Structures are given as C-alpha cells and as structure tokens.
Amino acid sequence: MKIVYSERFLEHETGAGNPETPERLVAIVKYLKENNLPVIFDKPKEIADRDLYIVHDEEYIEKLKFLSDMQQGGGDNPFSMNTFKIAKLAAGGALKAAENSENGFSFALIRPPGHHASRNAFGGFCYLNNIAFTVASVIATNIKMAMIVDIDQHHGNGTQDIFYNDSRVFYLSFHQDPNTCFPWSSGFEKENNRHIKNVVLQPGIKDAEYLKTFQDNFPKYANEFKPQLIGVSVGFDTFYKDYSCGNAIDIQDSATYNKIGSMIQEQAEKIGARVFAVLEGGYYLDTLGQNFWSFCSAFL
Ligand SMILES: [Zn+2]
C-alpha cells in the first residue's frame, strides 16, 4: 500500500497552542515504522501554482503567497515562511494518492489539511483544498463522476462550496451538528441538493450508531451515483479522546475506523470505483497512528 508522505510537510509551523502540529504526522509515521506495517512511502507530485486555479481563484493564490512571504496570519491559520509551498506540496500529495489508486488504495499522509478551504478563503487550519483540487484535476482528465466521502468530525465547508454547483461530484459528509461546533455556519441538511448530502450527527454519538448511520447512507448513494473515483476526507478528530469543541462525536474503538474503511472498500469493489484517502483532522497523538492504520488496513 502506498502512503504518500514527505518530511517537508513538517516545515509548516503553526506555533504554540495550535493543535495542527507537525507531530501529528511524526506520530503516524513512527507507528507505521515501529510496527513494520506493509506500506511503501511515496513522494508527492510536484504541481505548479496555475494548476491550483482549477479550484481556487488566482487572486487567492497570490494572497496566500504574499501572506506566507510576510509570515502573517494567526489564530487557526498562521503563515510560516514555507506555508504556501508546503500547502501546495500537500495538494500534490493528494493528487499522487489519487493517481496511485489506479493500482490499489493509497493514502495521502499530508498537512496542512484542506477541507475547510474554499475557492477564495482559508480557515480551520486549511489553506488549499487538497481533496477538491485532486478530484477536480482527475475529473478534468480521465473520469466522469467522483464521490467525496468526508468522515472528519467537522463539515467540509470548503469542499461543499467548491462543488456546490458541479453535479459531476457527489459530496457526502458525516459530521457533528454545526450548531454545536466549527464551522458553525454550514453543514446543515437544508443545504443538501442532488449531489450534496450532509448527514448531521448529534454530539455524544458512539461507534454503533455512527456505523449504522454510515451503512444507511454511504452504500445507497455510492450505488445510485456510481462514481469511478472515491476520495475519502479522513479525520480522526471523531475519536473520543481527541481535541474537539465540548461534547463531540465519540468513537471509542479504533476498530470502528476499520469497519468504515471496509464498507467503503466493499461498495467500491461492487461498483468498480478506485479509492484514495487524504488526512484532514485528528489531534490526539497517542492513538493517531493506531487509528490511521486501522482505517488503512481495511484496504489490504
Ligand atoms: Zn475536523
């Protein structure tokens, strides 16, 4: 199994108090190596600034470069010297995982994450929308329909924004009720259309109910839409010990991530879709590696 990774992802520095740290990736790589897991580390694809215009406005890209050069920003989205370059490398990492998926499942172990970045705005630790860039790029070349399944605790407002009027992409998101957590203003069921489906989960939901909700929705939509490519935005911030806003989705057993992965794999096989995944959130370092591998091992 190819895991797309570069040590350069550690160069994006976020400063004290920000949970989106380089140590997140260090913890996952350490777990994979210490347990001798059957993975091959693969390098991200190099992309040009203009490639990003497929999902981001040109002025927005210029703004990111400027803020990065000036090392400005703050809060959830600080800019260190290399932030723009590393965000671009992360987008190239997601694209590489999608390309790898022609020969089997591949995971882009990347940061900064992407699903809160819209066409012209950053937020929630995200600068460039890695999965949207990837799906839009692949659809522009050799496939007709793609599905993005988002299992991060938070709604991928950026991904929804980018594909809201693009019926070639089905966006299916399972996330905590945005009345109770970030991004607060989007992710409600009233926003659903024919190819946007927000499944709102109440805080406190645990493994069995989460899996049942996933089983009630994912196979049905995947089977109806029949995507050729499935991209999964994976966030491990649904784990009960993870950073969250108060009462959160509480997945208590690592094995639940394996069961989610297995449902995706089984349905993808039925409809003949390729599958890749990208890392979004997940901040509780002690179990991040275990949860990551639990998900990946469903695709062995
Ligand atoms: Zn999240």
- Residue 247 has a pLDDT of 82
pLDDT value of position 243: 77
Q: Is position 116 annotated as part of the catalytic site?
A: yes
Question: 18 C-alpha to center of ligand 1: Å?
Answer: 13
pLDDT, residue 35, reads: 98
pLDDT at res. 246: 74
Q: Which residues of 220-247 are buried (b: 16+ CB within 10 A; e: fewer)?
A: ebbeebebbbbbbbbbbbbbbebebeee
**pLDDT, position 49:** 98
Which of 12, 56, 115, 116 is catalytic? The answer is 116
How far apart CA 148 and CA 161 sit, in angstroms, is 13
CA 279–ligand 1 middle distance (angstroms): 10
Using the mean position of ligand 1's atoms as its centre, give its distance from the Cα of residue 187 in Å: 13
Domains of the chain (ranges plus CATH)?
Answer: 2-299 (3.40.800.20)
Q: Quote the pLDDT of residue 193.
A: 98
* Averages of pLDDT over each 10 residues, the chain, 300 residues: 98 94 98 98 97 98 96 91 96 98 98 98 98 98 95 98 98 97 97 98 97 98 98 98 84 98 98 98 97 98
Ligand 1 centroid distance, CA of 112 (Å): 12
Rounded-to-integer distance, Cα 160 and Cα 157, Å: 5
Q: What is the pLDDT of residue 251?
A: 97
pLDDT given at position 133: 98
> What distance in angstroms lies between residue 142's CA and the mean position of ligand 1's atoms?
30
Structure tokens at 270: 């039925």
Q: Residues for the chain: how many in total?
A: 300
Residue-level pLDDT at 74 = 82
